[in-house]
Amino acid sequence: MPLLRFLARRIALGAVVMWTVATVVFVMYFAAPHDAARLIAGRQADPDTVAAVSRNLGLDRPLLAQYGSFLGRLLHGNLGYSYTNSEPVTTLIGQGVPVTVSLAIGGAVLWLLLGVSVGVLAAVKRRSLVDRATTGLALLFYSMPTFLLGELLLLGLFYELHLLGFNLFPGGGFVPFTRDPVQWAQHLLLPWLTIALVSAATYTRLTRAVLLDVLGEDYIRTARAKGLSERRVTLHHGLRSALAPILTQFGLDVGTLLGGVVVTETVFGLPGLGQLLIVSISHQDLPTTIGLVLLASAFVVVANLVVDVLYVVLDPRVRLS
């Protein structure tokens, strides 16, 4: 079947990308001209300690043997143990994934709905006051740093309301969805808004630009000449054709976002993958850092695979090649 062959090719390409990333990571951390054992043991470690670390981690073996063991462990899902707290890296990542996935998916859905809706409105009302206002707001939020918007939301919607006796928005922390869905959403609402308002600006401008080009096509004029309503022409014919570049941007953004929303998690004190990455880098925890880099790459590969499949679903003209 064409679809199965298409998926097989995309999965094979994704596997090649992941192998390439793993190889680059190995070269950077283990084959580059520096003493990995000394880096792991610390600057103050004595030569015996450095030699013990090198022996325990197999760093004294030939480079190709190290590379083979490295790939073998990855294929079995073994990312090693954290040098900071001696826990398996998979355990640490498993603790942070629900937080980051909750933050990323909620923010992505919000920014996609907000950005595309406002972009369609701006395209339909082009050169009007609504168009100018939405374009100006999009530029404002696009230019605003994420940490600044997060701090402003905390100040206005958490601190000031808390002083007035309204505890609608918690200032931070995370509640698992399985424990209390309402508390889960309440704790993540401000982080979702922070991500969505900054990212939606890109989708507003992109949707407006692409939709204006599509609405000038001949088949759109033909649809209008057939007597179809403007709403049906815009949403059914125009927006569907304009979704391809929006999906491309969305796949890249979601994949990157899942890799660790470092700034947002730091501002709101969320114990996700972004926080884990900061800690692992600051403590020179190589296994955890490598695991997070590979996980972020996998998120990007999977997100682009999903986007490729959605292309075929949304636009039958796209060939499965």
Looking at the fold, whether 94 and 71 belong to one and the same domain comes out as: no
Global confidence as pTM: 0.79
Judge whether 319 lies within some domain: no
Cα–Cα nearest to 191, from 259, 100, 255, 253: 100
Give the pLDDT confidence of 122-171 residue by residue, as tens digits. Answer: 888 888 888 888 888 888 888 888 888 888 888 888 877 777 777 777 77
User: What average pLDDT does this structure show over 299-320?
Assistant: 73
217 and 254, same domain (yes or no):
yes
Contact 187, 102 (CB under 8 A): no
Last residue of a domain, one of 50, 75, 100: 75
Residues 136 and 262 in one domain: yes
For residue 80, is it within any domain?
A: no
User: Smallest Cα–Cα separation from 105: which of 311, 309, 313, 306?
Assistant: 306
For a pLDDT cut of 90, what percent of the chain falls above it? 2
Cβ burial of 297 (10 Å; 0-12, 13-18, 19+) is: buried
At 301, the pLDDT band (50, 70, 90 cuts) reads confident
Confidence bin at 229 (pLDDT 50/70/90): confident
Are 273 and 96 in contact by the 8 Å Cβ rule? The answer is yes
Structure tokens at 48: 């015996």
| 241 within 8 A of 311, measured Cβ to Cβ | no
| Domain finish residue from 75, 99, 133 | 75
**Both structure tokens of 10:** 């995309």
pLDDT of residue 319: 57
116 has a pLDDT exceeding 80? yes
Tokens 């143990």 belong to 81
End of a domain among 34, 49, 75? 75
Q: Is residue 321 part of a domain?
A: no
| pLDDT score of 109 more than 60 | yes
Q: How many domains does the chain have?
A: 2
Distance of alpha carbon 53 from alpha carbon 41, whole angstroms:
7
Above 80 in pLDDT, residue 29?
no
Over the stretch 7-18, which tens digit does the pLDDT of each residue have? 888 888 888 999
DSSP 246: H
Most distant CA pair in the chain, distance? 84
- Highest-scoring range by mean pLDDT, 87-91, 154-158, 257-261: 87-91
